[in-house]
Amino acid sequence: MPSPSRRSQFIPFSPIRAMFRLADEMDRAGQGPVIRFHVGDPDFAPPDSVIDATHQAMKAGKTHYPQSVGVHELRLALTEKVTRRNGIAAEWEQVVVAPGSTEALLAVMEVALDPGDEILLPEIYWPNYGQQTLLASASSAFYPLGAGYQPDVEGTRRRITPRTRCILVNSPSNPTGAVFPRETLRALYDLAREHDLWILSDEAYEDIVFDAEHVSLGSFERDLPEEERRVFSLFTFSKSYAMTGFRLGYIVSPTMSTATILRKTQEPLVGSTASMIQWGGLAALKDDGPIAVMRDAYRRRRDFAVGMLREAGLIDYTPQGAFYVLADVASTGLTGEEFATALLEEEKVCVAPAAGFAFALRFGAGGAPEGSVAPGAAAPDYPVNPRARHLVRIAFCVSDEDVKEGIARLVRFAARCRDRRGASAR
Ligand code: PLP
């Protein structure tokens, strides 16, 4: 039997897969309900106007292949949005619609990277970036994060090699919830300019920012001539409008020519994004009201979770955006994975061990992935960045009641682990 490609075998599994299975098993066995802090899927419904517009689009016959780059009316509305809200100078031809920003990221990597080229990712990162890098036959290296999971710009400079072609910036961040200040983003932008790198700016959580400002990297090159631009900006409807199941995102390409290449890339990758969904997206853009309502709810939940976790000595920073916080459970004597499994068993609360957000993928001099896949396994057993060993990610996009109850149980469980640890040390 022929063997699957090396590239596909090296793709790591999603870090929440194992927890998902365990939580589902528990619920099926009637031992639930499990409080689900492990998934980043908002508990809100999309705005009614989106559902109505999607439905009407189907009834009106918007059921055929749309253009690979998106429905014209939506591209025009998105151009207006990114100009007004993100401060990006874009013509409508530069806006490319995609079935979610997950796909958009892969499409951009295909445009920005040749096989063996290197992309710099944050050392604690949304795992799809690592998976996509492998799919694009590129290699990844990691830039350090300092206090509060803020990028260490000088440390980042030291990671740049002759093979580096691209840096990925994700603010607000999944899984840390960190929002990068303007000065940090400016310094990263200048670094990319100095070394002639592309920037992939993943702004999936642009609308979920609490006591900080969201700055779009693309706004720094608003006044530059096209040939000097380098930022691919990626956005999604998933988080801002609770439209995760619709699969709708978009890219603002730095130049007309990269947009043309992206159009070519989208043809074989997706053909096009579902037509009626795009009409639903157009309706979403007409009313920002629901965004503010959801943001207020996330802020309330963040404040509650952070207050209790801080009091329990489980965090030393405050996430300023997205709906995630990383708790440090080292004081319980458990790794993040052990903590997550035992917490689920004892308290029916499911969190994601952060190890899966910090796989230290390694590549050889030619850019090929290093390591081996054990017989019968579908992915290598990756080493984990030691910084993430004792961290778990809590997603507070569940109801207020579940946040309160779930965090209370988690804190209680951590205290119990510390007591047990103390008793066994005596
Ligand atoms: N980027 C980040 C950081 C995410 O957390 C997610 C989803 O969780 C995405 C991109 C992708 O979102 P979607 O494919 O739903 O647009």
Q: What pLDDT, on the 0 to 100 scale, is given for residue 1?
A: 82
Look at ligand 1, atom 1, and give the residue with the nearest C-alpha: 204
DSSP string, 338-400: HHHHHHHHHH-EE-EEGGGG-B---B-TTSPBPS-PPTT-SS----B-GGGTTEEEEE--S-H
Each residue's pLDDT tens digit, 283-303: 999 999 999 999 999 999 999
Mean pLDDT of all residues belonging to the chain: 95
Residue 215 and residue 228 in one domain = yes
Distance in angstroms (rounded) separating the CA atoms of residues 250 and 43? 23
Question: How far, CA to CA in Å, does 254 sit from each of 1, 72, 87, 302?
Answer: 44, 19, 13, 34
> Do residues 346 and 212 both lie within one domain?
no
Q: Which residue lies with its CA nearest to atom 8 of ligand 1?
A: 40
Is 272 found in the same domain as 321?
Answer: no
- Enter the pTM of the model: 0.97
In a domain, residue 56? The reply is yes
Position of tokens 């990712």?
Answer: 121
Residue 39 lies in a domain: yes
- What is the band of 366 on the pLDDT scale with cuts at 50, 70, 90? confident
Grade residue 2 by pLDDT with cuts at 50, 70 and 90: confident
Domain boundary among 285, 301, 319: 285
Residue 157 and residue 274 in one domain: yes
For residue range 223-247, list pLDDT tens digits in order.
999 999 999 999 999 999 999 999 9
Q: Is 127 in the pocket of ligand 1 (CB under 6 A)?
A: no
Indicate whether 275 and 309 sit together in one domain: no
* Claim to verify: residue 305 and residue 377 sit in the same structural domain: yes
Given 222, 256, 285, the domain boundary residue is 285
pLDDT grade for 425, boundaries at 50, 70 and 90: confident
Percent of the chain past pLDDT 90, that is, above it, reads: 88
pLDDT value, residue 186: 98
In a domain, 30, yes or no: yes
Are 248 and 277 in contact by the 8 Å Cβ rule? The answer is yes
Q: Check which CATH number belongs to the domain holding 341 and give it.
A: 3.90.1150.10
List the strands of the sheet with 139-143, edge to edge: 95-98, 249-252, 231-236, 198-202, 164-170, 118-122, 139-143
* Of the residues 256, 285, 314, the one at which a domain ends: 285
Quick one: pLDDT at residue 373?
86
Domain range for residue 329?
Answer: 6-45+289-425
pLDDT at 233: 98
Each residue's pLDDT tens digit, 257-267: 999 999 999 99
The answer on 33 and 148 residing in a single domain is no
DSSP string, 282-333: HHHHT--HHHHHHHHHHHHHHHHHHHHHHHTT--SS---BTTEEEEE-GGGT
Q: How far is ligand 1, taken at its centre, from the CA of residue 312, in Å?
A: 30
Cα dihedral 9→12→17→18 (10° resolution): 90
Query: Does residue 1 lie in a domain region?
Result: no
pLDDT tens track for 182-205: 999 999 999 999 999 999 999 999
Q: How many domains does one find in the chain?
A: 2
Phi and psi of 224, rounded to 5°?
-85, 150
Mean pLDDT value of segment 196-217: 97
Please check whether residues 187 and 221 belong to one and the same domain: yes
Question: For residue range 54-113, what is the model confidence (pLDDT) as tens digits?
Answer: 999 999 999 999 999 999 999 999 999 999 999 999 999 999 999 999 999 999 999 999
Q: Check residue 370 and give its pLDDT.
A: 87
How far does residue 204's CA lie from ligand 1's centre (Å)? 6
Helix (H, G, I), strand (E, B) or coil at 65: coil
Please indicate, yes or no, whether residues 219 and 259 belong to a single structural domain of this protein.
yes
Is the domain of 109 the same as that of 35? no
Is 240's C-beta closer than 6 angstroms to any atom of ligand 1? no
